[in-house]
Amino acid sequence: MNETTVVVPTKHEVEVLVADTDDIHDLIRQAQEADAIDKQLTIRQALHKYKKAVFWAMILSTSLIMEGYDLVIVRMSPVPTKINSFYGQSQFKHRFGTYDPAKGEKLITANWQSGLSNSALVGQLTGLAINTWTQDRFGCRVTMMFFMVWMMITIFIPFFAPSLSVLAFGEAMCGIPWGVFQTLSTSYASEVVPTVLRPYVTAYVCMCWGAGILLSSGVVRAVVGVHGDLGYKLPFAIQWVWPIPLFIAAYLAPESPWNSVRRGKPDEARKSLIRLRQDGPERAAQVDATLAYITYTTELEKAETADASFADCFRGTNLRRTEINCVVWAAQILCGNAILGYSVVFLEAAGFDEVQAFDLNISLSACYIVGGIICWLLMPRVGRATLYMGGLAFMFCCLVTIGGLGWDDSKHAQHFSLAEFAVDASYQSASHLAGLEKEVQSGVHVEKL
């Protein structure tokens, strides 16, 4: 898998798409100049030149800290690779559980565990579909602000839920903005920074997930000793901390210039580009060149996608691209990710008490941040493909070892197995959860698809 570069088509390629006028000639020249300048930037130079863009990309990516926290607290799903937080919490089981005569205690049944998780998944899928329309119609900022308000309102449902049915409905409603934030923050970050910085920005996006998951694990651990319904309601209530400051950040942030051009607002795009660049004597000329490049590329995309269809994904070399994308995203779940989602339940079943299980879960949560930092350090040295495949190979060895140790019923073997589990989680984060799947996907796509 080779690194990809941005290629600006030649003058002749543009002339077959648009009228041959002096304005078009000038547009081509400016687009080629902007592309040539960005190609020559080092990481240090790009950080200096686009420090404002990096700042706003990181600020809006912070919405995924909120999402990482919310997913673990409310969704109780294996997909974020963390605990289904309240399934192992005594207060939650006492309030919503069903008595199991065999074990002599209340439990959340397997059917309801699946139902709660799938409710959030349905909401997220709905949010993903909604975002494809709202982002192109209203822009990144307006979309984020609207769904932050939605988030503030829907948190009331799980907080006051009197039953698992209402809780499942609340998760579905909360899942809609989660689906929006997943793609919106990543697309915004990748559009406001130059190509050389995109791998690091997308890795930071996944580190934000990890920070939210780590925070939620600490909160759930802190309320273990709290008696009554407050033990599970406090983590729900903390969710209200996020939407207001993130709403303000989205209001103050510049719009994505790419999104503005796609919506036919070049003046808005120009204002955003000015805000995203450092002050200097050449800023006006650079903004004009970048805007010309964005405008030209957008027009080229429209021409290329005019006759595109879903069936093109399965024709010729595009079939290979489709296979790579599907496998890369599926690998997150197929390589032990789903098991990590039930870590506290798994730890308690292996012999840890409730407090010990939640303590170890905090360590597992920290693997996301450690993995993101490792990804930053190794990506420019070993490349994405080597890092990704090496991580998968190591995870395979860890999972086989854990499975083998499971045949031994001794407590020592179980604890050793769980130690390996933690190592696997760390390398899983370092290998591909820290943004690599997004980078691989962006490297094999074509605009027509």
Q: What is the pLDDT of residue 77?
A: 40
Its sign, for the CA torsion 85, 90, 94, 95, is negative
Beta-carbon contacts of 236 under 8 Å, excluding residues fewer than 6 positions away, are 73, 74, 155, 158, 159
Q: Please give the span between the terminal C-alpha atoms of the chain, in angstroms, as a whole number.
A: 19
CA distance 326 to 289: 36
Res 414 pLDDT > 60? no
* Size of the chain in residues: 449
Q: What is the pLDDT of residue 372?
A: 72
Res 220 pLDDT > 80? no
Res 268 pLDDT > 80? yes
CA distance 283 to 290: 10
Residue owning tokens 């406090």? 234
Report residue 76's pLDDT band, with 50, 70 and 90 as the boundaries: very low
Return mean pLDDT, the chain: 76
The mean per-residue pLDDT over the stretch 350-355 comes to 68
Q: What is the pLDDT of residue 252?
A: 94
Structure tokens at 95: 């309030």
Res 269 pLDDT > 50? yes
Report residue 12's pLDDT band, with 50, 70 and 90 as the boundaries: very low
User: Is the separation of the CB atoms in 231 and 397 below 8 Å?
Assistant: no
116-130 pLDDT, tens digit each: 778 888 888 899 889
The mean per-residue pLDDT over the stretch 410-415 comes to 56
Report residue 431's pLDDT band, with 50, 70 and 90 as the boundaries: very low
Res 14 pLDDT > 70? no
The angle that helices 51-61 and 243-252 make with each other, rounded to 10 degrees, is 150
Angle at 280 between CA 275 and CA 283, to 5 degrees: 60
* Distance, C-alpha 317 to centroid of its chain: 28
Structure tokens at 304: 């290329």
So where are the chain's domains?
41-253, 310-449
223-254 pLDDT, tens digit each: 777 777 777 788 888 889 889 999 999 999 99
Q: What is the pLDDT of residue 410?
A: 60
Q: What is the pLDDT of residue 267?
A: 92
User: Is the separation of the CB atoms in 98 and 355 below 8 Å?
Assistant: no
pTM over 0.95, yes/no: no
The mean per-residue pLDDT over the stretch 266-286 comes to 86
Q: How large a percentage of the chain has pLDDT more than 70?
A: 71
185 or 221: which carries more pLDDT confidence? 185
Which of 257-261, 384-388, 407-411, 432-436 holds the top average pLDDT? 257-261
171-219 pLDDT, tens digit each: 889 889 988 998 888 889 888 988 888 878 877 877 787 788 778 777 8
Res 408 pLDDT > 80? no
CATH superfamily for 41-253 is MFS general substrate transporter like domains (1.20.1250.20)
CB burial of 30-56 (b: ≥16 within 10 Å; e: otherwise) equals bbbbbbebbeebeeeebbebbebbbeb
82-116 pLDDT, tens digit each: 334 566 667 777 778 787 777 777 777 778 877 87
Q: What is the largest CA-CA distance in the chain?
A: 83
Structure tokens at 269: 């795009």
Its sign, for the CA torsion 88, 94, 96, 100, is positive
**How many Å is the Cα radius of gyration of the chain?**
24
Structure tokens at 81: 């690779």
